[in-house]
Amino acid sequence: MIPLFAFMEPPPLALGLVLLYLGAGAGSALALARRHQPAATAASALVAWPILLPLLWDSPRRPGARGPLAGRIEQVLDALDTTLRDPAAGDLAGDEDLVGLRASLLQADERLALVDKLLAEDASDPWIARDLDALRTARDHAMAEVEAVLSGVVQLRIQVGLLALAGNAAPVRDRLRELRGRIGALEEVSRLNAR
Amino acid sequence: MTAPALDFADHPHEAADRPAERAPADASETPSLPAAAEIAAAFAGFAVLGLCAGLGSGDVGTSVRAVPSGLLVGMGALVLTGPALVAAHQFLGLRGRPEALITALARGFVLSGKTALGLAPAMLFFSATSGLWAVVFTVLLLGIGGLGFAFTARRLLETEPRGNALVDLRILSLVASWVALCALIAARLAWDVAWFVLG
Amino acid sequence: MHILTLAATVLRDPDALIDLADDREALGRVIPQLLLVAAVGAATFGLVIGSYRGGIQLVYAAVKMPFLLAIPVIVCLPAIRALYAACRVDAPYERLALASTVGMARTGLLAAALAPVVWLLYSVALDYHLAVLLLAGTLALAGLPGLLTVSRALPGRGEGRLLATVASIAILGATTAQTGWLLRPFVARPNGEVAFLRPIEADVASSLAATGAASVGEYQDWEPEAAGLAGRGLRRDRAAEEGR
């Protein structure tokens, strides 16, 4: 007989604590399943529910105002997504790369929407007008950066065909990350300027 | 190409309002006291940490007595040294408002309490699986106290406009003295509280 | 993302994964994969550790090793967040949770990569106490990049961040050590009884002291006793029961 424990019965309190933990895990798994999370995610909640708590707290992100580039962002990224999903393209890039880039671009677009709202305010006070000029310059720079990233995505889509023929996936992922990094740098600069 | 900085500090109308000797900070600039919910969370944090520690003793009485132990030490030290801090601050002719000092102490307490709440699961783990509850509880309280002191000292220093060497020396000496006194009083209270908890 | 691609990303560019923290959908997909990678890596390492004794210990150690990585992370997550918050570093819980999971996966993979070295040393009939110390040292070596992954994931810089990182490493290290003691034995004594788990008794500090002394020939009269809430339970008046 394979000895499982060196003592005859596990301490009741220890067993109780373990059952309590697993019970919380089961509750979390059910809650995740109800939120249409994948089965693997719900199953892993049984043992790792503290790590998955953010999925349960889900305060769904309030959809921000659509900015000036929202439509173009969706159009360009949908086109790239369609191209990458083509079986002939192979496994050139993971979903996460594209999803992350889309999220970053849409966030940048929402910030542009906020800034546009501020710029539309009354600028009769000379001191406010001066600040608005600075804000307008920053906004134009941010917009130029987003448009440059979108141009990069359009070029990348064209290059996918060549890369698929060569069977070399690394440049596509690297390029997507580079584009994400560019948007990330824009966020960092904005954060620094705001201090 | 980097975006131009939005610098709101160089406005002429602000400069005009800024005389050579700036008046003490007015009421509108005093940071507000923490919200009641934050203070309640801090109390709860200390209580939960104490309970998690006490359970490691395996004794119901000790567990119950351990609940307020962290609070007694922390609050006791603050209550005993707070008035002295304010009195010394005024006596030294420093310009910060007394309300700002109280707010700094309160925020330090809230920070310590929230840290205690975050450390409670780790405390419970050691209480449940080892006989080290007293050692771990002491180490965690020392760590929480250290962080609380560091945070509060920084906030106290921020209550005073800096730039004048004599003023800087006075506020630094005051805060250093308060930290030392508070630590000694906390240690003294901790001795009595430890005997109370262990029965 | 393919599981092998994920494993490569965990080793080469873990920061890219941590940036997914803002995307709930990606978070829900990637965390189970990371847990699987951590489990497989740790189980592989556990197999090698169990090979010291052989037999059923191979399975026992392989099953328990993933929990040795996971339990400290789960227990210490709130503590790490509180420590960073106290040091004025904004640490969103989801980012910290994802960074910890990536760190865990990284540790599991690195431990699996170090497994051949451990096996080689075990295969030359290493003394039991040295075998235990080798296990601890290997886990520390594999664990450090994982810990640094978590630290790099958080924004901000300065003394506050350094202090929070050091405190987090300390608390995570202590919890991992105690978890290792709790889930023992991993390196079963060659002539000892094979067991999946042992009673909850003593603590890692006293056991390490006894093991360290024994490894240099100083054998202490050390008898572990039941310890902790889970080991002894809760009594109304334990002091009276114990005749104090």
C63-115 pLDDT, tens per residue?
999 999 999 999 999 999 999 888 887 778 888 899 999 999 999 999 999 99
Average pLDDT over residues B167-188: 92
CB contact under 8 A, C82 and B127: no
A84-132 pLDDT, tens per residue?
767 666 655 555 567 678 778 888 888 888 888 888 766 666 667 777 7
Peptide bond into C185 cis (omega under 30): yes
pLDDT band for C241, please (50, 70, 90 cuts): low
Q: What is the pLDDT of residue B114?
A: 94
Q: Which residue of B has its CA nearest to C167?
A: B143
Q: Is residue A39 packed enough to be buried (19+ CB in 10 Å), middle (13-18) or exposed (0-12)? A: exposed
pLDDT band for C237, please (50, 70, 90 cuts): low
This complex has an ipTM of: 0.81
Chain A interface includes B16 (CB < 8 A): no
Q: What is the pLDDT of residue C226?
A: 72
Q: Is pLDDT larger for residue B15 or for residue C187? A: C187
Average pLDDT over residues C12-39: 87
In angstroms, the separation between the Cα of residue A112 and the nearest Cα of chain B is 14
Rounded to a whole number of angstroms, the distance between the first and last alpha carbons of chain B is 68
Q: Is residue A63 packed enough to be buried (19+ CB in 10 Å), middle (13-18) or exposed (0-12)? A: exposed
CB contact under 8 A, C100 and A51: yes
Q: What is the pLDDT of residue C244?
A: 47
Distance of alpha carbon A93 from alpha carbon A159, whole angstroms: 13
Q: Is pLDDT larger for residue C232 or for residue C41? A: C41
Interface with A, mutate which of B2, B7, B55 (most A CBs under 10 A): B2
The top-scoring range by mean pLDDT among A8-12, B142-146, C25-29, C185-189 is B142-146
Q: Is pLDDT larger for residue C1 or for residue A26? A: A26
Q: Which residues of C touch A64 (CB under 8 A)?
A: none
Q: Which residue of C has its CA nearest to A54?
A: C94
Q: B139, A53, B34, B114: which is closest to C85 by C-alpha?
A: B114
Q: Give me the count of residues in chain B.
A: 199
Backbone angles phi, psi at C201, to 5 degrees: -150, 155
Number of other residues whose CB lies within 10 A of the CB of residue B179: 16
Name the residue among A17, A131, A138 with its Cβ closest to that of B128. A17
Query: Look-up: residue for tokens 């309190």?
Result: A13
Q: What is the pLDDT of residue C142?
A: 92
Q: C26, C27, C38, C40: which is closest to C73 by C-alpha?
A: C38
Contact B65, B54 (CB under 8 A): yes
* Mean pLDDT, chain A, whole residue set: 76
Which DSSP state fits C21? G
Name the residue among C16, C26, C234 with its Cβ closest to that of A99. C26
Q: A1, A53, A60, A61: which is closest to A29 by C-alpha?
A: A53
Q: What is the pLDDT of residue A7?
A: 47
pLDDT band for B67, please (50, 70, 90 cuts): very high
Contact A14, C36 (CB under 8 A): no
Cut 0.80: pTM above it:
no
| Predicted confidence (pLDDT) at residue A61 exceeds the cutoff of 60 | no
Q: How many CB pairs under 8 A join A and C?
A: 106
Q: What is the pLDDT of residue C65?
A: 95
DSSP C104-170: HHHHHHHHHHHHHHHHHHHTTT--HHHHHHHHHHHHHHHHHHHHHHHHHHS---SHHHHHHHHHHHH
Backbone angles phi, psi at C197, to 5 degrees: -140, 155
C151-162 pLDDT, tens per residue?
887 766 666 788
B31-58 pLDDT, tens per residue?
678 889 999 999 999 999 999 999 888 8
Q: What is the pLDDT of residue A2?
A: 47
Q: B70, B193, B38, B49: which is closest to B121 by C-alpha?
A: B49
Query: Look-up: residue for tokens 């170090």?
Result: C114
Chain C interface includes B131 (CB < 8 A): yes
In angstroms, the separation between the Cα of residue A4 and the nearest Cα of chain C is 5
